[in-house]
Amino acid sequence: MDSKIPRRVTLFKTGCSKNGKIVHVPNTIEELCLLAGRKLNINDCKLHSSKGALIDDLQFVRDDDVIYVSGGGSFKDSSEDWITLNVGGRHFTTTRATLVASDPESMLAKMFSSQKSWKSARDHTGAYLIDRSPDYFAPLLNYLRHGKLILNEGVNPSGILEEAKFFGLTGVAEQLEEIIKDTDKDEDKPLTRQEFVRILLSTPSNCELRCQGINLEGADLSRLDLRYINFKMANLRRADLAGANLSNCCFERSCLSGAHIDGASLSGVRMQRANLEGASLMACNFEDPSGVRSANLEGNTGSRKYLHRSSFLYSSNKLRFK
């Protein structure tokens, strides 16, 4: 009596990795084909290895092999089977190839690259449970599908970057880091006239507008009513403030170098330690009809020689230079 333990193989329909059947290997390849056909309900069976090679001799079959059975047609790669992921409560359905092909070293590729998928918990539908943010996972999955990173409006790239690092998607992580750098630069861009007017219109008339440290470099703010605005430490380099009403504004330690302030109303302004190097203040009005508020230009840089033809009513005791 032969003491050898019979070989066993696992049979799957080609293109599938579920509902397999474990059988003992019979004596001939023809018998194995018939057995596979009965178990999987397939006619005219052909046997294939996991790489798609046709098996026509039992000498190529080893114990515990996985064999794919086709009904006479061509072999279908099982990596194309569909996989559903439950990411943070949202279902995403994609192919195994999508998760594996783009970045073979990623966590997702390692989870689903073999027929023995990652031993992860599943929900009641059979979807693999992944405890991550679905909003940040969606653009990463689309990137794996077509190779392009597309960010919808309102999605924070920093959040997507953290997910990319978690899943080991190094290629897209580098792209996200560049996007975040560019975004940080954009946030420091000067406001335009249109943007600043929008801010003015949205501010109630009885509220003081606080614009400390704001970047208005080169902005066209000419002929605007900007009374009582706090521009302390703001960047107004080369800004156009010609003809603007700046009465009672605060420009303490702000940068107005190269600014065009000709014809502006400057009664009651506070410009202590402001930088006015190269600024033009021709025909400005420092007059305060009430005689109560004084313009204060103490400690500012480069202001005096640019005050051509400006009006200084009450200037003997109200306009102060130091």
3-state secondary structure of 216: coil
CATH, domain range 189-321: 2.160.20
d(CA 192, CA 9): 72
Could you tell me the two tokens for 280? 């033009």
The per-residue pLDDT for 288 is: 66
Spatial CA neighbour of 310 closest among 321, 299, 23:
321
Length, in residues, of the chain: 322
Contact 46, 67 (CB under 8 A): no
Q: CA 292, CA 281: separation in Å to the nearest integer?
A: 22
Q: Write down the pLDDT at residue 295.
A: 62
Give dist(CA 113, CA 107) in Å, integer. 10
Please list the residue range(s) of the chain that carry CATH number 2.160.20.
Answer: 189-321
**Residue 313 pLDDT > 60, yes or no?**
no
Average pLDDT over residues 289-309: 56
In this prediction, residue 1 has a pLDDT band, given cuts at 50, 70 and 90, of: very low
Work out whether strand 46-48 and strand 82-87 pair parallel, antiparallel, or are unpaired.
Answer: unpaired
Better pLDDT: 178 or 6? 178
CATH topology of domain 82-187: Potassium Channel Kv1.1; Chain A (3.30.710)
Q: Which among 18-32, 65-79, 116-130, 223-237 has the top mean pLDDT?
A: 223-237
* 314 and 291 Cβ atoms separated by less than 8 Å: yes
Task: Note the maximum CA span of the chain.
Answer: 125
**pLDDT tens figures, 149-172:** 999 888 899 999 999 999 999 989
Q: What average pLDDT does this structure show over 262-273?
A: 91
Q: What is the mean pLDDT of residues 30-54?
A: 87
Q: Where in the sequence of the chain do the CATH 3.10.20.230 domains occur?
A: 8-71
Burial class for 66, CB neighbours closer than 10 Å (0-12, 13-18, 19+): middle
Report pLDDT digits (tens) over 64-108. 888 888 886 666 655 557 889 999 999 999 988 889 888 888 999
Quote the CA–CA distance of 136 and 155 in Å, as a whole number. Answer: 8
Q: What is the DSSP letter of 114?
A: S
For residues 180-198, give the mean pLDDT. Answer: 79
Is the pLDDT higher at 80 or at 54? 54
| Contact criterion met (CB below 8 Å) for 58 and 29 | yes
| C-beta of residue 104 within 8 angstroms of C-beta of residue 168 | no
Task: List the structure tokens of 245.
Answer: 């009403």
- Give the 3-state secondary structure of residue 87: strand
Q: What are the residue ranges of CATH 3.30.710.10 in the chain?
A: 82-187
- Do the beta carbons of residue 59 and residue 50 sit within 8 Å? no
Domain 8-71 in CATH 3.10.20.230? The answer is yes
**Model confidence at 185, in pLDDT bands (50, 70, 90)?**
low
Q: Model confidence at 302, in pLDDT bands (50, 70, 90)?
A: low
